[in-house]
Structure 1
Amino acid sequence: MTTGTLPLRSLDRYLTRKDDRRMTYEPFHIIGENRPGRWLITCDHAANTVPPFVAGGTLGVHPEDMARHIAFDPGAAGVTKRLAELLDCPAILSNFSRLVIDPNRGEDDPTLLMRLYDGTIIPGNARADSEELEHRLAECYRPYHDALARLAARQDDTVIVAIHSYTKQLKGRPPRPWHIGILHAADNRLSRPLIWRLRQEPDLCVGENEPYGGHLPGDSIDRHAEIPGRPSTLIELRNDLIETETEQNNWAERVAPMLTEVLTQTGL
């Protein structure tokens, strides 16, 4: 596993830092960087980590809330790792909570840094100003996206699969019935065939752009797939179905052959 691999200019910046606290923290992890598969599996919300240089390493959120979907995508990292192993391809996983800064938002998105999420106040973000936002962009967000861009460009025919998870029910909202959702924007070359394939499974409730729409300007898929023209899809798994390592592995093992099948069928 490669941890926090950066382009040379970014690496130089990291090595010249005087703050030793930053030297012990890496904003992302790369697994299987030299695997030959054309897929790239991404996990934008893999961790609930709060780096030591952000609000002293705590956002003031109760540990029970930091273990919820408001802080990261529970179960998504395990699915990502196993899926990348099965497809013999690299994976990149963030190593900072979405409450620190959300890597699946554009830099000008108003929800990039949340002060309230699903009924929970984020004390460590209450007084975060433009300088603090820039600090988090420089230390977490941009290094992650730099590395993702480098991996995506490693070969000409990269196909990106983004793995996310969602909660079965938000506070005050109706339950979400889908087991899995496939999100896409304008480019549905891979997503539509994958939805069709998943819907052949009689035990699955499959959503298209559910539980929410599949595109935000400047989000990860827009930035690394839509704009460069790379085929992609975003898979949302309901997090109560991927709580254990066994469940995470089972979902990866179920989805991997479907991805291979539809990629072959589409001729992408």
Structure 2
Amino acid sequence: MTSWQPWRRIGPQHAPEGIVLVADHASKFVPAGIDLGIAPELLDQHIAVDIGVEPVAELMAQDSGIPAHLATVSRLVCDLHREEDHPAVVPAISDGHAIPGNAGADIEARLNLFHRPYHGALAAWLDEVEPSLIISLHSFTPSLRSAPGARPWEVALLHNEDDRAARLAMNLFRAAGFTVGDNEPYSGRQLNATMNRHAEAHGRSYLAIEVRQDQIAEPAGQALWAHLISDVAARVALLLEAP
């Protein structure tokens, strides 16, 4: 029996088109010994987990053969989609909610337990499989408690320096009839830690996809978006290879 680790791998080792998926915020799990000091119901909200992402990733692995590297720890314990020196890598507050258990937390210990093993395993896997395209999958809220205001995009593409795949995917989602955000509701120039590290730094193509949570909160939407994202990613991978 293997011991718990802050990531799990699902799907085949290699995808037919060389497409893989990464989900840094797929879990709401808080390991024993860590008391965040928050109401239990907050663990079901967006501050703890990207709602809908884990079932979408599981469907993509099952139905489209896209392997995935999924976080198994809540972003409130350690945010794996932040640089190690980011002030919110162990957040003291999230969307207006104080996280009192993180006040004075041993950040170095959290990095050693969660952040470094997660990214070390991800780096080794990507070196092994040499993907043609990485999907970084997240979800976002229709509005924020700390910054009220509608977010009209059903899906958004984030990018930093390399926007080749993102531009192709935006066109494909728009052609399918969706309202698409370009670096919205966040900018990939500020929030792109995992893809900066594992994609842009290695010249790997990637799609950092944010789906609005109401689109994937229920099984029907999860199935729809799993198929749609798989299809768009496959088409983008082909377009990137075209002369």
Fold match (TM-score > 0.5):
yes
Quick one: structure 1 residues 33 and 139, their matched pair in 2 at CA, closer, same or farther if it must change by over 3 Å?
A: farther
Deviation at 1:233, TM superposition (A): 1.1
Is this contact kept in 2: 1:180–1:235, CA < 8 A? Answer: yes
Per-residue CA distance 1:240-259 (angstroms, 9 max, x = gap): 11112221111111221121
1:179 aligns with 2:150: no
Ranges in structure 2 where 5+ consecutive residues have no aligned partner: none
Is this contact kept in 2: 1:86–1:256, CA < 8 A? Answer: no
Is this contact kept in 2: 1:106–1:218, CA < 8 A? Answer: no
Q: Which amino acid aligns with 2:210?
A: E
SS of residue matched to 2:175: coil
Structure 2 equivalent of residue 165 of structure 1: 139
Aligned counterpart in structure 1 of residue 102 of structure 2, from 118, 122, 125: 125
Instruction: Report how many residues are paired.
Output: 240
Deviation at 1:89, TM superposition (A): 2.9
Structure 1 equivalent of residue 166 of structure 2: 191
Which has the higher mean CA deviation after the structures are superposed, 86-95 or 229-238? Answer: 86-95
Calculate the TM-score normalised by the size of structure 2.
Answer: 0.93
Ranges in structure 1 where 5+ consecutive residues have no aligned partner: 5-22
SS of residue matched to 2:164: coil
Structure 1 equivalent of residue 79 of structure 2: 102
Calculate the TM-score normalised by the size of structure 1.
Answer: 0.84
Distance 1:263 1:133 in 2: 38
Q: Which amino acid aligns with 2:156?
A: G
Following TM superposition, where does structure 1 have runs of at least 4 consecutive aligned residues deviating by more than 6 angstroms?
none
Is this contact kept in 2: 1:40–1:84, CA < 8 A? Answer: no
Deviation at 1:159, TM superposition (A): 1.6
Distance 1:63 1:162 in 2: 28
Aligned counterpart in structure 1 of residue 6 of structure 2, from 27, 31, 56: 27
Aligned counterpart in structure 1 of residue 48 of structure 2, from 43, 62, 71: 71
Per-residue CA distance 1:175-210 (angstroms, 9 max, x = gap): 1111001111111121101101111122x1110101
Quick one: structure 1 residues 255 and 217, their matched pair in 2 at CA, closer, same or farther if it must change by over 3 Å?
A: closer
What is the root-mean-square deviation in Å for CA atoms of aligned residues?
1.8
Distance 1:163 1:174 in 2: 23
Structure 1 equivalent of residue 62 of structure 2: 85
Is this contact kept in 2: 1:199–1:206, CA < 8 A? Answer: yes
Distance 1:79 1:91 in 2: 11
Deviation at 1:33, TM superposition (A): 4.6
Is this contact kept in 2: 1:105–1:216, CA < 8 A? Answer: no
Aligned counterpart in structure 1 of residue 206 of structure 2, from 232, 238, 251: 232
Deviation at 1:70, TM superposition (A): 0.5
SS of residue matched to 1:199: helix
Distance 2:179 2:130 in 1: 34
Is this contact kept in 2: 1:184–1:234, CA < 8 A? Answer: yes
Distance 1:260 1:90 in 2: 13
